[in-house]
Amino acid sequence: MDARGNKAVVVPEVVLSSGKKMPVLGFGTGVVGSPRPAQTLALILLDAIELGYRHFDTAALYGTEEAVGLAITQALERGLIKTRDELFITSKLWCADAHHVLFLRALKSTLQTWKAMEECSRMGLAKSIGVSNYGTKKLSQILDNATIPPAVNQVEMNPSWQQEKLRDFCKEKGIHVTAWSPLGFHGATSWAPKPWIDYAIIKEIAAAKGKSVAQVILRSIIQQGEVSAISRSFNKERMKDNIQIWNSMLGRNGKLDS
């Protein structure tokens, strides 16, 4: 509940292969250029918590982990959440740091090689472990050698790049897919498969349902099942719109066709 007495939106959750629950809509903290001062971003994240966001996506590369930590502390102090366990925090290790020898030094700020990540899981330092931007070949290599399989594969996915082959593979293997950059391309136009979707179609759907384009896209991704999404906007009104997507349905399992 926010300062005006409005109830926070309750975001549905998915149960991962680790047995842990993860909200299907996350709040991204990655930014282009230099990150905002930690306390400035923490205040934005507090607004997000008030609205109902319970899944926050960060990384050492983003430079936003400190802000996420501050937001958690202040949310507890303000009574926005009762315990840390109400939040699901995703952090990621940049590939340049992915060396097993460096792991223990970097453990508190990020994760690294899969064997070390499994160790991290067994030590209780991470509730779930996963990968990002892995295709079927790399996933197969991990699955062939892992004692703890990835719970999540976070990849770029949006209306023009729906990752159907990868999603089918992950579903078969019990790996949940999380979409980053769900509202459009992150410079991937050159390698994404054609045909790219005509966004005018999405605008028509949005107008017909009285929703924003962002709301239609986010709902379409999540409604397909076995997929969650990470949205990112530091504008409070857009933050509010992005989380208010549970009171409408799309046809054909939410799929948007070109």
Active site (catalytic) residues: 62
Q: Is the peptide bond before 159 cis (omega within 30 degrees of 0)?
A: no
Phi, psi angles (nearest 5°) of residue 99: -130, 130
Place of tokens 């924003």: 212
- The pair of three-digit structure tokens given for residue 187, joined into one six-digit string: 């410079």
Gap between the Cα atoms of 182 and 146, Å rounded: 29
- The pair of three-digit structure tokens given for residue 166, joined into one six-digit string: 């990868």
How many contiguous H segments (helices) and E segments (strands) does the chain have? Answer: 9, 9
Phi, psi angles (nearest 5°) of residue 249: -125, 155
- The pair of three-digit structure tokens given for residue 76, joined into one six-digit string: 């507890």
